Amino acid sequence: MSENTVRPVDPFPELALGCMSLPERFSDAKKIIYAAFDSGIRFLDTADLYQKGQNEQNIGRAIQTKRNQLILASKVGNQWNAEGTAWAWNPRKAYILQAVEESLKRLRTDYLDLYQLHGGTLEDPLEEALEAFELLISQGKIKAFGISSIRPNVIRKVMTMSPPATIMMQYSPLDRRPEEEVFPLLEKSETRVLARGAFAKGILIDKPAIAYLDFSKEKVAEIKTEIQSQGFSPESVLIRFGLVEKSVSSLVIGASSVDHVEKIRKGYAESKTIPLDLILNLKQKFTPNLYQDHR
């Protein structure tokens, strides 16, 4: 593995549109993508898994005149069977090199700004997967690679082999597991976190409280009430909550309607007015949860 992993020249923007939630119909997806662009969001994150490639295809159609103004990320590793009824995990070099060509074709682009391994275990042939990413960088087909993983043991291993530009993981007031070990590790490196799940599937915004990870429904309701009683919109508090972490460069937030994009835009603008102490007090008020597996 190369000791000098190629990284993007510019840092990743603080907000990315998570495209998994985009409608499958092109006209609806395009409206959301354009609303995000008009709101200043220039970072799109998708995966070949989403809608069996239709997600990438819709994005490719929508961004033709805007490609050079966008940071475009996709993911690889989940391979659909011939019938399209199920997928299997495949991190092999040959598959990655084959899959990227299909993603590039669907996205109507010559390169990806970021290509991510969509999962991973300690049993994977990680050296082989990383070789594929290094080759794609040398060919100019990707600018940087990342992994999407919540497993501390996998993250530690990859960081010792060939540190990626990014690691995508879940993070919110209901999932603070990265705070224990992963965030401190990555703060000392050039690798940045793309945090997904900032709104906890909408539970901390406007959906009913339910049990979440090791939090009971009652505890989730308590945390939600606390967030919503701070005098700021819950979106703004949650965005500030994620971005205050030194290792987090970007929040990847999904939207399934133009209205969702508008709430993200307003929340991001408002988040810049929230005092740091408010977030630190929230973090101190509730005990963070910890990883039980894959430590």
211 backbone dihedrals φ, ψ, rounded to 5°: -60, 140
Q: Give yes or no for residue 176 having a pLDDT over 70.
A: yes
Q: Give yes or no for residue 1 having a pLDDT over 70.
A: no
Model pTM score? 0.92
> What pLDDT is stored for residue 10 in this prediction?
55
CB distance 46 to 20 below 8 Å: yes
- Of 123, 198, 124, 117, nearest to 164 (Cα)? 117
- Of 23, 87, 109, nearest to 58 (Cα)? 23
Q: What is the pLDDT of residues 120-174, one digit of tens each?
A: 888 898 999 999 999 999 999 999 999 999 899 999 999 999 999 999 999 999 9
HEC string for the chain:
CCCCCCCCCCCCCCEEEEHHHCCCCHHHHHHHHHHHHHCCCCEEECCCCHHHHHHHHHHHHHCCCCHHHCEEEEEECEEECCCCCCEEECCCHHHHHHHHHHHHHHHCCCCECEEEECCCCCCCCHHHHHHHHHHHHHCCCECCEEEECCCHHHHHHHHHHCCCCEEEEECECCECHHHCCHHHHHHCCCCEEEEECCCHHHCCCCCCCCCECCECHHHHHHHHHHHCCCCCCHHHHHHHHHHCCCCEEEEEEECCCHHHHHHHHHHHHHHCCCCHHHHHHHHHHCCCCCCCCCC
Q: Which two tokens stand for residue 61?
A: 């159609």
The sign one gets for the Cα dihedral 257, 263, 265, 271 is: negative
Lowest mean pLDDT across 64-78, 81-95, 199-213, 228-242? 81-95
| Rounded Cα gap, residues 175 and 289, in angstroms | 7
CB distance 261 to 39 below 8 Å: yes
230 backbone dihedrals φ, ψ, rounded to 5°: -90, -5
Tell me, yes or no, if 50 is annotated catalytic. Answer: yes
> What pLDDT is stored for residue 294 in this prediction?
63
- Mean per-residue pLDDT for 263-281? 97
pLDDT band at 7 (very low <50, low <70, confident <90, very high): very low
> What pLDDT is stored for residue 3 in this prediction?
39
* Domain spans, the chain: 15-285
Domain at 15-285: CATH architecture: Alpha-Beta Barrel (3.20)
Q: What is the pLDDT of residues 198-255, one digit of tens each?
A: 999 999 999 999 999 999 999 999 999 999 999 999 999 999 999 999 999 999 999 9
**Given 34, 50, 171, 291, the catalytic residue:** 50
Q: How many residues does the chain have?
A: 295
Q: Give yes or no for residue 6 having a pLDDT over 70.
A: no
CA distances from 14 to 9, 37, 52, 64 (A): 15, 14, 28, 23
Q: Which two tokens stand for residue 177?
A: 């597991």
- Mean per-residue pLDDT for 48-73? 94
> What pLDDT is stored for residue 268 in this prediction?
98
> What pLDDT is stored for residue 221 in this prediction?
97
Q: Which two tokens stand for residue 251?
A: 């929040």
CB distance 166 to 192 below 8 Å: yes
Q: Give yes or no for residue 182 having a pLDDT over 60.
A: yes
| Rounded Cα gap, residues 26 and 118, in angstroms | 24
> What pLDDT is stored for residue 295 in this prediction?
64
Q: What is the pLDDT of residues 219-230, one digit of tens each?
A: 999 999 999 999
